[in-house]
């Protein structure tokens, strides 16, 4: 029997906040019957079902539309953040439910008010790497004037350009969770100065990242401002006209969080004037954005259809958080991505 046939992967959390993969013994055949756990799947995805069956054979999977008798024994619910309109009835049909996992990284579209005191987790952090790469790509495009500096015919002159660079530039991060930290590590590698405004001031866990106590102190210093924090009642409308006017002329704004954090109407005249030199937006309001909307055609806007999270194997990565949590749940260990209902993320 191979090592991975005898042991399951699990995550161990150290006092300093770092996480390490460890191996825990797989239950023997004599105890296997006590390990079966019924999971209700609240969406149709044969590929995910196959991944679950291959990686967590102890799960007895039923669909949320199964007969009431099948839902009576459900212990865990796997659901998307959006489109969970049936949640209220489903919770009533699952009296033994102990844990809900949202297969997504944000919970602002999930009706947390319906879950009561249920334990809720999400796949927070699973998309941090691709989103961080997208952010750095937008920053590089801005500084290197791409694709405008590419040529398809002889230019007026060779060897002459007015390109910027990342070295010595200041990156401002609003939010310093998994995404913010992934962006910071990459920015530091480009010798950027990195400032971060966080919800609760604390010492920075990354050398080279300076935490700023107030938004008013951060905004005038940054060349690139990145929104990377969850949408909550506290953060909605965080960046409006007054905040944008506090930024230095020529700032580059990047939003990979939620459109609700940014006042799009207030952004437009500052883009027109050039005070905001460019806005790289992966999230907008509404989504999908209707045809003819001004964001499509503005020369200072770089717009993508909420795809910064996309990468090879990203679904498996998001599902991996849930699978690690299944192991942790069985071992009585802390779960990843625990949602704080009072904070809204």
Positions annotated as catalytic residues are 258, 287, 306
What is the spatial order of strands in the sheet that 276-281 belongs to? Answer: 209-212, 193-197, 170-174, 224-227, 251-255, 276-281, 301-303
For 67, other C-beta atoms within 10 Å of its C-beta total: 9
Q: Please give the full DSSP string across 121-169, using - where no structure is assigned.
A: EE-TTTTHHHHHHHHHHHHHHHHHTTTTT--SS--S-SS------STT-
CA nearest neighbour of 255 among 233, 239, 242: 239
For 9, other C-beta atoms within 10 Å of its C-beta total: 14
User: What is the 3-class SS of 162-203, one letter each residue?
Assistant: CCCCCCCCEEEEECCCHHHHHHHHHHHHCCCEEEEECCCCCC
CA nearest neighbour of 59 among 11, 118, 101: 101
What is the spatial order of strands in the sheet that 74-79 belongs to? Answer: 59-63, 37-41, 74-79, 99-102, 119-122
Helical ranges in the chain per DSSP H: 3-6, 29-32, 46-55, 68-71, 87-93, 128-144, 178-189, 215-218, 241-246, 264-273, 294-297, 314-331
What's the sign of the alpha-carbon dihedral 314, 318, 321, 324? negative
Do 259 and 232 meet the contact criterion of CB atoms below 8 Å apart? no
Q: Rg of the chain over CA atoms, in angstroms?
A: 23
Bridge-partner residues for 173, per DSSP?
196, 226
3-class secondary structure, 294: helix
CA angle 122, 71, 126 (to 5 degrees): 15
């Amino acid at each position: 029997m191979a090592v991975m046939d005898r042991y399951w992967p699990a995550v161990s959390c150290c006092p300093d906040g770092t996480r390490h993969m460890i191996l825990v013994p797989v239950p023997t055949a004599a105890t296997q019957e006590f390990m079966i756990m019924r999971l209700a799947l609240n969406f149709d995805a044969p590929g995910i079902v196959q991944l679950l069956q291959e990686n967590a054979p102890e799960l007895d999977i039923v669909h949320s539309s199964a007969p009431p008798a099948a839902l009576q024994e459900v212990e865990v619910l796997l659901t998307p953040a959006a489109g969970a309109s049936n949640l209220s009835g489903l919770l009533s049909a699952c009296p033994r439910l102990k844990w809900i996992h949202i297969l997504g990284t944000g919970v602002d579209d999930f009706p947390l008010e319906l879950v009561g005191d249920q334990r809720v987790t999400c796949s927070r952090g699973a998309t941090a790497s691709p989103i961080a790469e997208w952010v750095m790509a937008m920053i590089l495009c801005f500084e290197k004037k791409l694709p405008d500096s590419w040529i398809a015919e002889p230019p007026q002159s060779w060897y002459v350009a007015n390109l910027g660079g990342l070295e010595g530039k200041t990156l401002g991060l609003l939010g310093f969770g998994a995404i913010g930290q992934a962006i910071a590590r990459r920015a530091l590698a480009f010798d950027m100065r990195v400032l971060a405004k966080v919800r609760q001031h604390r010492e920075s866990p990354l050398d080279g990242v300076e935490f700023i106590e107030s938004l008013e102190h951060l905004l005038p210093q940054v060349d690139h401002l990145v929104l990377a924090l969850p949408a909550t009642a506290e953060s909605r409308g965080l960046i409006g006209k007054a905040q944008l006017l506090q930024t230095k002329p020529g700032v580059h704004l990047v939003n990979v969080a939620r459109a609700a954090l940014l006042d799009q109407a207030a952004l437009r005249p500052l883009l027109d004037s050039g005070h905001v030199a460019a806005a790289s937006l992966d999230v907008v309001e509404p989504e999908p954005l209707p045809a003819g909307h001004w964001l499509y055609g503005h020369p200072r806007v770089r717009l993508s259809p909420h795809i910064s999270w996309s990468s090879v194997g990203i679904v498996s990565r998001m599902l991996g958080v849930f699978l690690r949590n299944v192991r942790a749940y069985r071992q009585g260990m802390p779960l990843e991505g625990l949602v704080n209902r009072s904070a809204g993320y």
